[in-house]
């Protein structure tokens, strides 16, 4: 049972590491700033500590090299932020080779790093407890 728990924590660590790597790659590749208009938003529901939470992800409309593009935001807005959200102009960074790839300044990499640290500490503690228990046998 404990081995399964360790494997699950390890898998979750890998998941968050991949997310961090993806955001880092986006940040590196998206180096052209453009003004984008939030034209719509979509509701996203999730749970945190037993509470149902709704956030909203914006859809951006912007022009690059004379061509119009739309891209979905990675950033979530809470319900109280929705007033005047449509039509708001924001500055985003795009990948000039793939303009539909966008990067927005976000706290996500820090959140993912925190998750990785916490889960790794739990994993080390479990391994320490197991190894101590095995040496006592």
Does this model's pTM top 0.85? My answer is no
Cβ atoms 93, 102 nearer than 8 A = yes
% residues pLDDT > 70 (the chain): 85
pLDDT digits (tens, 9 = 90+) for 7-32: 777 787 778 778 777 878 888 899 99
Total domain count, the chain: 1
Domain region containing 80: 2-136
3-33 as b/e: b if 16+ CB within 10 A: eeeeeebeeebeebeebbeebeebeebbeee
Q: What number is the average pLDDT over the span 33-47?
A: 86
Beta strands in 1-137 (DSSP E): 32-48, 51-64, 67-78, 89-95, 98-103
Q: What angle do CA 28, 30, 32 make, to 5 degrees?
A: 125
Q: What number is the average pLDDT over the span 110-121?
A: 71
């Amino acid at each position: 049972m404990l081995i399964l728990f360790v494997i699950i924590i390890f898998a979750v660590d890998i998941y968050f590491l991949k997310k961090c790597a993806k955001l880092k790659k986006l940040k590196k590749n998206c180096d052209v700033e453009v003004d984008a208009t939030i034209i719509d938003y979509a509701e996203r529901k999730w749970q945190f500590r037993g509470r149902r939470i709704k956030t909203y992800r914006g859809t951006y409309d912007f022009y690059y090299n004379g061509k119009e593009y739309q891209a979905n935001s990675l950033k979530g807005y809470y319900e109280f932020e929705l007033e005047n959200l449509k039509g708001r102009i924001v500055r985003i960074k795009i990948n000039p080779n793939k303009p539909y790839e966008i990067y927005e300044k976000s706290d996500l990499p820090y959140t993912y790093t925190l998750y990785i640290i916490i889960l790794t500490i739990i994993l080390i503690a479990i391994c320490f407890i197991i190894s101590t228990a095995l040496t006592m046998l």
